[in-house]
Amino acid sequence: MDAAKQKVHEFWDEASCGEHLYLSGSEKASYIEQRRIRYELEPYIMEFAGFKTARDLDVLEIGVGLGADHQCFAEAGARLQGIDLTQRAINYTKKRLELFDLRSNLQIGDAEDLAFGDREFDVVYSWGVLHHSPNTQKAIEEVHRVLRSGGVAKIMIYHKWSVVGFMLWARYALLRLRPLILSRFQDETKRGRVSAWHDHAGLIHSS
C-alpha cells in the first residue's frame, strides 16, 4: 500500500464512518438504531440505492463502512459482495449480517484494484467512498471494468461546494489554520475529472 493509501487506511481504521456518533454497542438493537438514524438523516439514500430492485442481481458494494446499506441489499435478495479498505469496517458489516442472519461475501479490498474479473456485476454501489481514495479516477475505471454491459454504477461522492464540503474544510483546513488548502479531491473536481452537483454528487451510470 502506498503512503497516501496508508493514510486513508489509518484514518478509517481508527473509527468507521459514524461509529462513535451512531453505533452505541455491538448488539442487534444498536445496529437497528444506527440504521434508523442513518435513513432519517439521509432519506435520499433509499431512492438512490434502489435496494428493492436488487433481487437476484450480482451486486458489489465498495466501502461498506458500518454496513447499513449492505444489510438492505442483502435483505432485498441480491447476490452480494462487499469490500472495504479496513478490517474494522468488514468486521462491523460481518457482525451486522450475522445478527440479522443475512449473507454476503465480505473481504478487505481496494477500490483502485478490485479483486474481481471483468463484467462480474449488474450493480456496483458506493456511497461516500471513492473521493477518499487517492486515485479516484482509477477507482472509477475499476468500477467500469467489473460491470456487465448494461450494468449500473451507483456512486455518491461529495460535492466541493456543499454543506458537507464546507464542514470538511472547516474541520480539516480552517481549524488546522490552513484555510487555503484544497484537498486532492477538490483539485480533481476543479479540473473537471469528477462531475458533481448538489450537496452530494450522486452519479448513476449505465455501462
Q: Residue count at the site for ligand SAM (CB under 6 A)?
A: 23
The edge-to-edge listing of strands for the beta sheet with 200-206 is 105-108, 79-84, 58-62, 121-127, 147-158, 200-206
Helices 68-76 and 87-99: crossing angle, nearest 10°?
40
Contact call for residue 58 and ligand SAM (CB under 6 A): no
142 binds ligand SAM (CB under 6 A): no
**Beta strands 105-108; 79-84: pairing state:** parallel
Given candidates 34, 81, 93, 133, which one binds ligand SAM under the rule CB under 6 A? Answer: 133
Instruction: Determine, following the binding rule CB under 6 A, whether residue 188 of this chain makes contact with ligand SAM.
Output: no
Return the C-alpha cell found at 159.
460535492
Using the rule CB under 6 A, which residue among 63, 82, 165, 202 binds ligand SAM? 63
Tell me the CA distances in angstroms from 177 to 11, 148, 169, 173, 184, one per residue in order.
Answer: 20, 46, 11, 6, 18
Q: Does 132 bind ligand SAM (CB under 6 A)?
A: yes
Residue number, 6 or 26, with CB nearest to ligand SAM: 6
**Which of 23, 78, 85, 153 lies at the binding interface for ligand SAM (CB under 6 A)?**
85
Which residue, chain included where needed, has cell 481549524?
A: 175
Least distance from ligand SAM to the Cβ atom of residue 132, Å: 4
Q: Which stretch binds ligand SAM (CB under 6 A): 19-27, 74-82, 123-131, 161-169?
A: 123-131
